[in-house]
Amino acid sequence: MRVLGIESSCDETAAAIVDSDGRVLSDVVRSQIAIHAAWGGVVPELAARDHLRGVLPVTSEACRVAGLTLDDVDGLAVTVRPGLAGALLVGAEFAKTLALATGKPIVGVDHLVGHLLAVFLTRGEAAPTRPGFPFVALVASGGHTAIYKVSGPLERDVEELGGTRDDAAGEAFDKVAKALGLGYPGGPVIDRLASAGDATRFAVPRPMRADPSLELSFSGVKTWVARHVEREGAPVGQALADLCASFQRAVVDVLVDKTMRAARLAGVGDVVLSGGVAANGGLRARAKERCGAHGLRLFVPPPASCTDNAAMIAFAGAARLAAGERDGLDLSIEPRSRIPRATVKGRGRRR
């Protein structure tokens, strides 16, 4: 089965063709970084407008790279949640138009399920070693940070074990980078500077690290850095590298500690990292170290599969189609995921 996937949940317009074994036949991504950089973050209206400009040429290019036409694919998959409403709407309406014109079956895909299954994608000749179900997965990106138990390839097989009460980890990276004058997106720049820094120089807090729950919080880390800059001024040179390293280590420590705790509580042997923050070198190294110490197998997709892409959407759609699931042309978008949340947003004691 070959599935055409469409992704437009945030600031990448993407299209890909993937078969049901996870082999990526094409994967085309049109980034909007240059559009949003001047604003220091994603502007929803600008994102939707650029999706309108890009969705047709990106899809045409995905077909060209795969050497296929729309007649050659067996189904269509499109991100319908969660994400920016206007951005999602562009992709969903375009995919439904293709389904109407070609008669191909269509399925909507939860963006988070796509991230959870990205580890099964095969790019190139060698098929990667894959985790076995069930596994525990950390999805960390600019908009989402949560830990899941994944018992199968469908949305109903996914259980959230804990998530962030406030900012996502990637959001914290971007806001800290903005406070330090490093531009947007901030994650790759902080990761690069951190590699040359001393992570012990600044006592950046690690919120909720000792909390026995699997809940997370990154707003306080971001605020600590902002207040430090207000007091001391923006650091330069080695001090900047040290502050980036200290901030990154704090976030990584919390993410890895909570993920290790989740794997132990869930009784699984395989751990997966996914989402844009999973491309962070510090997170990968620390997770590898801790998984090795605990006898766990760690699986991390290549960077192209971590960041938003349509290949993961196509593969998640292929799983739905293989299970006999279909959606109609009344398929609608939703800003939030349907995966039940285990963590309530906001401050305060939990029941």
* Per-residue confidence (pLDDT) for residue 348, from 0 to 100: 56
Which residues share a beta bridge with 148? Answer: 137, 160
**Contact predicate 252/282, CB 8 Å:** yes
Per CATH, 2-123+308-322 and 135-301 having the same topology is answered yes
140 phi and psi angles, rounded to 5 deg = -130, 120
Q: Are strands 106-110 and 135-140 parallel, antiparallel or unpaired?
A: unpaired
CATH number of the domain at 135-301, please? 3.30.420.40
At 125 the pLDDT is 72
> In the prediction, which pLDDT does 347 show?
62
Ordered per-residue pLDDT tens for the chain, 351 residues: 999 999 999 999 999 999 999 999 999 999 888 888 888 888 999 999 999 999 999 999 999 999 999 999 999 999 999 999 999 999 999 999 999 999 999 999 999 999 999 999 999 877 778 999 999 999 999 889 999 999 999 999 999 999 999 999 999 999 999 999 998 888 999 999 999 999 999 999 999 998 899 999 999 999 999 999 999 999 999 999 999 999 999 999 999 999 999 999 999 999 999 999 999 999 999 999 999 999 999 999 999 999 999 999 999 999 999 999 999 999 999 999 999 999 987 765 554
Domain 2-123+308-322 - what CATH class?
A: alpha beta
Break the chain into its structural domains and give their ranges: 2-123+308-322, 135-301
* Residue 272 DSSP symbol: E
pLDDT of res. 185: 86
Element holding 19 (H helix, E strand): strand 12-19
Phi, psi of 56 (to 5 degrees): -70, -50
The model's pTM: 0.94
pLDDT at 86: 96
